[in-house]
Amino acid sequence: MSAKRRNHLIWLGPFLGFAAILSYFMVFARFPGLRDFPWLNLPLALVGLVLSVFGVLRPWRQPEVFRGKALPIIGLVVSTVFASFFVYYIFVLSVLPAASETAVKLTQAPEFTLTASDGTTVSSSDFRGRNVALIFYRGFW
Amino acid sequence: MQSRIAEIRATGTEVLAISVDPAEVTRERLGSVGLEFPLLADPELQVIDSFGMRHSAGGMGGIDIARSGVFLIDGTGSVVWRELTDNYRVRLRPERLLKQIAALP
C-alpha cells in the first residue's frame, strides 16, 4: 500500500496563471522586448494550464496516491480563466482599430495650442524651425 | 522615451506628448515621476481629431481617447514620419525615433 500524497498541481497551475498576468503588468511590460510579445508571460500562463490538466489526471491515473477529483477540476477551471484572459488581452483587447485615413495620409501637421500639465501653454508655433516628435498616448484616465 | 530624452534633444528635436487627460489629472498622476517633456491636455480631442488619432470608446468606461502613435514633424510643420501602432502594447522605441531623426536631411 503506497502513501497518499498531496496534489500540489491543484494550486500550482492557477498560481502560475495568476503570476503570469500580474507580473506582465507590474514588471515585464516595462521591457519592450517582453511587452511587445509576452515571450515570458504567455508560456508561463500556458505552463500553469498544462500543470492544472496534469493535476486533474493524477487522481484518475494514480488513485492509490492522489485522492480527490473535484478540487483539481476547480483548479483547471481557474487556470483556464487566467490563461484565456491573458491570451484575449494580448491578441484581442489590446489591438487597435485600423488607423484613420487622416492619420495615415497627413502631410502638414495641424496647428495646435494646448495646456501642459505644469499649467503652461504650449503651441505648435513655438517650435518653428525645430523638429518635434509628437507622441499621442492613451493617458491614465 | 524619458530615458533617451537627452539624446533626442541633442538632435534639436523637441518631444511633446498629448492625451485626453486634463492637465490637473496628469499632474496628480505624474506625482514625482520626473518627465522632461511636456504632457499636453486635449480633453475635447480637438487636436487628437485634427491628427485623426481618436480611438472611439477606447478608454475605461467607453470614453474616447487618443490611440497610441507618434508623428515626427520638421521645422516647417511637415509630417516627415509617423508610427501608428496597431496594438497599444507595442509602442515606439526611442532608438527607432533616433534613427528616423538621424535620417532627416
Between B27 and A79, the more confident residue is: A79
Of A113, A11, A75, A106, nearest in space to B42 by CA: A113
Q: Quote the pLDDT of residue A2.
A: 61
Give chain B positions within 8 Å (CB) of A35: 89-90
Give chain A positions within 8 Å (CB) of B87: 94-96
Query: Which contacts (CB < 8 Å, 24+ apart) does range A33-36 have?
Result: A35/B89, A35/B90, A36/B89, A36/B90
Between B32 and A85, the more confident residue is: A85
SS (H, E, C) chain B: CHHHHHHHHHCCEEEEEEECCCHHHHHHHHCCCCCCCCEEECCCCHHHHHCCCEECCCCHHHCCEECCEEEEECCCCEEEEEECCCECCCCCCHHHHHHHHHHCC
Residue type, A10: I
Give me the mean pLDDT over the A60-66 stretch.
93
Report the residue of chain A nearest B65, measured CA to CA: A138
Q: Quote the pLDDT of residue B27.
A: 78
3-class secondary structure, A126? helix
User: Residue A90 — very low, low, confident or very high, per pLDDT cuts 50/70/90?
Assistant: very high
Q: Mutate which of B39, B83, B99 to disrupt the A interface (most A C-beta within 10 Å)?
A: B39
Ramachandran category for residue B19: left, alpha or beta (phi over 0 → left; psi -120 to 50 → alpha): beta
Which residue has 480611438 as its cell numbers? Answer: B55
User: Residue A19 — very low, low, confident or very high, per pLDDT cuts 50/70/90?
Assistant: very high
Of B36, B89, B37, B104, nearest in space to A130 by CA: B104
Q: Cβ separation of A103 and B69 shorter than 8 Å?
A: yes
Contact between residue B68 and residue B93 where contact means Cβ atoms under 8 Å apart? no
Examine the pLDDT at A120 and tell me if it is beyond 90. Answer: yes
Which residue has 533616433 as its cell numbers? Answer: B98
CA B22, B12, B7: angle at the middle one, nearest 5? 85
Q: What is the ipTM of this complex?
A: 0.93
Residue A74 class from Cβ within 10 Å (0-12 exposed, 13-18 middle, 19+ buried)? middle
User: CA-CA distance, A81 to A116, in Å (whole number)?
Assistant: 41
Chain A and chain B share a number of CB contacts under 8 A equal to 200
Share of chain A above pLDDT 70, in %: 98
Whole-Å CA distances, A34 to A81, A90, A118, B67: 22, 12, 33, 21
Between A103 and A118, the more confident residue is: A103
Helices (H), chain A: 9-26, 32-36, 41-61, 70-88, 101-105
